[in-house]
Amino acid sequence: MNRREVLKVALAIPFLAGAMAGGVTSALAAVGGTAAGSLRSRVRPGDPGWPSASQWDRLKQQVGGRLLKLESPFANCTATSMSAACSEALKHIKNPYFIGDQPALTQTSGWAGAWTSRPSVYAVAAESTADVVAAVNFARKHHLRLVVKGGGHSYQGTSEAPDSLLVWTRHMNSVTLHDAFVAQGCAGAQAPQPAVTVQSGAMWIDAYDAVTTHGGRYVQGGGCTTVGVAGLIQSGGFGSHSKNYGTASSGLLEAEIVTADGVVRIANACTNPDLFWGIKGGGGGSLGVVTRLTLRTRELPQFFGGAFGAIKASSGEAYRALIARVIDFYQSDLFNPHWGEQLVFRSDNVLRLAMVFQGLTQQQAQAVWAPFLDWVSARKEYSIAKPVQILAVPAQHGWDAAFFRQYAPDAIVNDDREGAPRDHILWSGDHGQVGWFIHGFKSAWLPAALLQKGRQSSLVDALYAASRHTDVELHFNKGLAGAPAEAIAAARDTATNPQVLDAFALAIIAGGEGPAYQGMPGAGADLAEARSDAANIDSAMSELLNVAPGAGAYVSESDYFQRDWQTAFWGTNYPKLAAVKRKYDPDGLFFVHHGVGSEDWSADGFTRLR
C-alpha cells in the first residue's frame, strides 16, 4: 500500500463507525441528518428543508437588517436593454474595488471547464463578530451551504457558490496599531511587541496604509493591494519581500475565529494552539470564519525598489544562453533576502525583468545588476525590448498613493469612483487579473538544489523547453530558500507545505482572458482558445516537473484540477490539518473546493460521500 492509500485509510477511519452503525431514515435524509445527527447533505432553494420566509426574516432581525438577497448586476442585461446595475457594472468592471464592493461578484469571473461566478442566494453583510455567529448558527441549523468572502480573490471559486448563504465581511475592515501587543493567555510567555490588528474584511492596502505610510513600520502581507488580509493569511501568504520576512501567516500572533459550533474562539500560541497552527496556511474557509487577526510589525528598511525591463534574443539558441546566464546570475547575486518577485521567460524569446528589492540603495542595486547588463550589451544577439530601469524609493512611500500619483502615475491604477478613498490604488501589473476568466493555472515549488552548478543546465533546459509552449514565471519571493534562518523557522511552524522552505522559487504558468461574468453582454469566454491555452500550460509545466518531480503547489495559486491536492498543497502537514478539521468542524459545515476535508463531500459540497 503506497503513502497515498495509507493517507486515505487514515482519513476514512473516523467515519467507518457511523457507516457500520446502520442506515439513514428517509425523514432524516430529507433534512440532511443521520441517525447519529451528523450532516449528510445540504439543502437548496425548493428543498423541503429550505428555510421559510419567516425564518429568513428572523435572521435578518438578528443581524440588524443586514441580510441581502443577491442578484448579479448582469442578471438583467441584454443586447438591447440594460438595467442601471448592468450599466454601472460594465463601467467599472475593471475596477477591483468596485467588484469587491459587490457581494454578488468575485474578483475572478470563472475558470474554463471548472466554475463560473454565480452569487449566493443570500448574504449576511457582517459588521461584527455577532453577525458572523448568527450566520454560522443559521447555516448549521438549516443545513445550508455556507460561503465566506472578504476580498473575493479566490482563483478556485471558493468566494461564492450558488444556492448558498454568504458571510460577507467586507465592512469589517478596521485597522489598529499596537506598540506592545501580547496575545491573550500569553502574558509572561511572550514579550510585548509592535503589532497591527486587522479585521477580516480589510484589504492589504488598508493594512499597508496604516502600518507603513502612516506608521513607518512594515507588515508582511500580499503583493496585490486588493487581496483580503484574512484570505491571504489562511493560505500562507507571500509578498514581494517574503524572501526576507517570510510568509504572511508566520507573522500571525493571534486570531479571532467563529467555528462551526458558533463559538467565538481566540487562537494563538497559548490558546487553541492547534487551531492557530491550522489558520496559518491551512486554507481559507475550511476551519471557520476568521473575524480579526493580529500580525507582528517590523522595522522599516530605508528603501524599497525594483529592476524592470525586457531583453530579446535573436534566436532560440541565443535565448537559451540568456536563460543560462540569468539563472547563474540569480544564483550568485540575487539569491538572498534582498531580492524577490519575478523573472518571466516568454515564448517569444523575451526575458522580462520584474524584480524588487529591500534594504539596498538604488546605487547598490544598480551595481548588483551591472555585470549581467554589461554581458547583455556586449552581445549583438540581444536587444533591449524595454529599457532596464533600476529605481528605489524611501520605503515609507512603498504604498503611498499620493507619492505614486505625483512621481509614478503609470505604476498605479486608481479607484476612479467618485468619493473613493484616496489610498485605494492597484499596481498596474495586477490590472490584467481584475475580473479575469482563467484558461489554466499551475504552480510548482522548485527546489534550491536545481541552482547548484551541476544541475543548472537541466533547469535551464527545462525553462527553455517550457517557454516553447507558453510564458513561464519564476516568483522568487514565494520560495524561502535563501531567506534568514528566523524566517524559515517561523514558516516551518505553519501548515504550509514544508517544500516552501527548500524552494528557491514558485514557478507559475497561467493564462486567461478579460472578464466573462455570466449574463455579461458580449460573446463570452472563448472556450476553444481556453482549451488550447490550457493544453500549452499543461505541456509547459510538464517540462518543469521533469526536473522537479513531486513538486508541491501553492494552494492559492494552483490548478483547479490539481491531482493529489492534499499532498501538493500541504505535504506532510495534511494529516495534522485533517485532525484539526475533525476537532473543530466534525460535521463539515465549512466546505471549499480542495480545502481540508473536502474529499468527504461531492464536488459541489452538497452531499457527504463518507
Question: Taking 50 as the threshold, does the pLDDT of residue 303 lie above it?
Answer: yes
Q: Is the pLDDT of residue 454 over 50?
A: yes
Q: Which of 505, 498, 447, 499 lies closest to 479, judged by CA?
A: 505
pLDDT given at position 24: 32
Domain ranges of the chain: 175-299, 303-566
Task: Determine the pLDDT at residue 39.
Answer: 72
pLDDT at 19: 33
CA distance from start to end of the chain: 21
Cα separation, 138 vs 164, in Å, equals: 12
Q: Pick the more confident residue, 237 or 7.
A: 237
CA angle 6, 12, 18 (to 5 degrees): 155
pLDDT of residue 76: 86
Handedness of CA 124, 435, 86, 101 (dihedral sign): positive
Q: Would you list the DSSP string of 177-200?
A: EEEEE--TT-BTTB--EEEEEEET
**Which 3-state string (H, E, C) describes 332-380?**
HHHCCCCEEEEEEECCCCEEEEEEEEECCCHHHHHHHHHHHHHHHHCCC
Q: What is the mean pLDDT of residues 564-583?
A: 98
157 φψ region: left (φ > 0), alpha (ψ -120 to 50), beta (else)? left
Q: Based on C-alpha coordinates, what's the Rg of the chain?
A: 24
| Angstrom distance (rounded) from CA 586 to CA 533 | 40
- State the DSSP string of 475-510: EGGG--TTS-HHHHHHHHTSSS-THHHHEEEEEEEE
Tell me what percent of the residues of the chain surpass a pLDDT of 70. 94
Report, as an integer, the average pLDDT of 291-297: 98
Euclidean distance between CA atoms 533 and 438, whole angstroms: 10
Are 226 and 100 in contact, with CB atoms under 8 Å apart?
yes
Instruction: CATH number for 303-566: choose from 3.40.50.620, 3.40.462.20, 3.40.50.170, 3.40.640.10.
Output: 3.40.462.20
Closest alpha carbon to 518 in 48, 77, 42, 10: 77
Distance CA(443)–CA(509), nearest Å, equals: 6
How does the average pLDDT of the chain come out, rounded?
93
The tens digit of pLDDT for each residue in 241-253 reads 999 999 999 999 9
Q: Is the pLDDT of residue 8 over 90?
A: no
Q: What is the mean pLDDT of residues 105-117?
A: 97
- Give the integer Cα–Cα distance in Å for 313 and 349: 6
Q: Length of the chain in residues, anyone?
A: 610
Please give the distance of CA 331 from its chain centroid, rounded to a whole number. Answer: 27
Residue 123 β-bridge partners = 68, 166
Q: Provide the pLDDT for residue 34.
A: 40
> Whose CA is closest to 590, among 131, 33, 167?
167
Going through 410-501 in order, the beta strands assigned E by DSSP cover: 412-414, 425-427, 437-447, 472-475
Range scoring the smallest mean pLDDT among 70-79, 152-161, 424-433: 70-79
Helix (H, G, I), strand (E, B) or coil at 384: strand
Question: Does residue 136 contact residue 167 with C-beta atoms inside 8 Å?
Answer: yes
The stretch 378-393 carries a mean pLDDT of 98
Residues 6+ apart with CB under 8 A from 307: 353, 355, 356, 357, 365, 369, 388, 389, 390
Q: Would you call 520 helix, strand, or coil by DSSP?
A: coil
Query: Does residue 2 surpass a pLDDT of 60?
Result: no
Measuring CA to CA, how many Å separate 533 from each of 429, 439, 509, 516? 21, 6, 11, 16
Confidence of residue 81 (pLDDT cuts 50, 70, 90): confident
What is residue 38's predicted lDDT score, i.e. its pLDDT? Answer: 64
Rounded to the nearest angstrom, the gap between the alpha carbon of residue 264 and the centroid of all alpha carbons in its chain is 24
Cα separations (Å) of 71 from 78, 102, 163, 268, 423?
A: 15, 10, 12, 38, 29
536-556 average pLDDT score: 98
Whose CA is closest to 198, among 253, 146, 280?
Answer: 253
So what's the pLDDT on residue 15? Answer: 32
Is the model's pLDDT at 602 over the cut of 50? yes
CATH number, domain 175-299, options 3.60.10.10, 3.30.465.10, 1.10.1370.40, 3.40.50.300 = 3.30.465.10
Residue pair 469/442 in contact by the 8 Å Cβ criterion: no
pLDDT digits (tens, 9 = 90+) for 130-149: 999 999 999 999 999 999 99
Residue 222: which H helix or E strand, with range? none
Q: What digits encode the pLDDT tens for the residues 22-73?
A: 333 333 333 444 433 467 899 999 999 999 999 999 999 999 999 999 999 9
In this structure, are strands 437-447 and 110-111 parallel, antiparallel, or unpaired? Answer: parallel
Q: What was the pLDDT predicted at 3?
A: 37
Angle at 341 between CA 277 and CA 170, to 5 degrees: 55
Does the pLDDT of residue 335 top 60, yes or no? yes
**Rounded to the nearest 10 degrees, how much is the dihedral formed by the CA atoms of 307, 309, 314, 318?**
20
CA distance 491 to 80: 54
251 within 8 A of 220, measured Cβ to Cβ: yes
Spatial distance between the Cα atoms of 152 and 170, rounded to a whole number of angstroms: 9
Distance CA 267, CA 289 (A): 12
C-alpha grid cell for residue 258? 467563529
Mean pLDDT of 375-391: 98
User: Contact, 239 vs 487, CB < 8 A?
Assistant: no
Grid cell 500562507 — which residue?
Answer: 236
